[in-house]
Amino acid sequence: MVEKQRGVTIWLTGLSGAGKTTICQFLDTKLRSHEYQIEVLDGDVVRQNLSKGLTFSKEDRNENIRRIGFVAHLLTRNNIIVLVSVISPYRVIREELKAQIGDFIEVYVNAPLEVCEQRDVKGLYKKARVGEITNFTGIDNLYEIPLNPDVECKTDQESIAESANKILNKLEELGYINPLLLPQFHNYSRI
């Protein structure tokens, strides 16, 4: 087990299909392989359990994000590394959570809307384009791009490993992970 692990919330925000969940899965696997204690809070999973019954109105979206933030805060203060993968479209709520949690790294998972639509395995963008889904972020609901993210991953230009490596480097730089444990993370090629 890692000695005296420090808790931190790594908050991945971006459009649906940008690559948030995939990057989280990659980070989860790599960090667990070095015995870091990790919890993953995925927006879809949380919505089915902790936030069941909430709509996609602005108020309910904010409530959903605050609930995720509350859980992330509890885990972080108990020295868990928390990987949060959620659209979280509104800047003010992300800033509120950053202030509340403290040990918080905002990661902007950036992919152009066209790329996200091409990756749309759930068919959500198609449904939003024909009006079957309303208030869909990026189509008829606003996504506020982070102004100063701690890390920006351009998933239309980088491999998942390259994006994850940026986050690992930030964690190392800020002292959340031991640099001696991660030498192989610095040598990823495109996968």
Tell me how far CA of residue 15 lies from CA of 33, 120, 133, in angstroms. 29, 11, 15
Q: For residues 191 and 52, what is the distance between their CA atoms, to the nearest angstrom? A: 36
Residue 109: beta bridge partners? 153
Selected catalytic residue, list 16, 57, 85, 88: 88
Half-sphere exposure of 13 (CA within 13 A, CB side): 30
Q: Strand 81-85 vs strand 38-42: parallel, antiparallel, or unpaired?
A: parallel
Task: Confirm whether 88 is a catalytic residue.
Answer: yes
Pairing of strands 81-85, 104-110: unpaired
Alpha carbon separation from 5 to 31, 34, 37, 166 (Å, rounded): 12, 12, 8, 20
Q: For residue 8, which of 109, 110, 97 has the smallest C-alpha distance?
A: 97
By annotation, the residues acting in catalysis are: 88
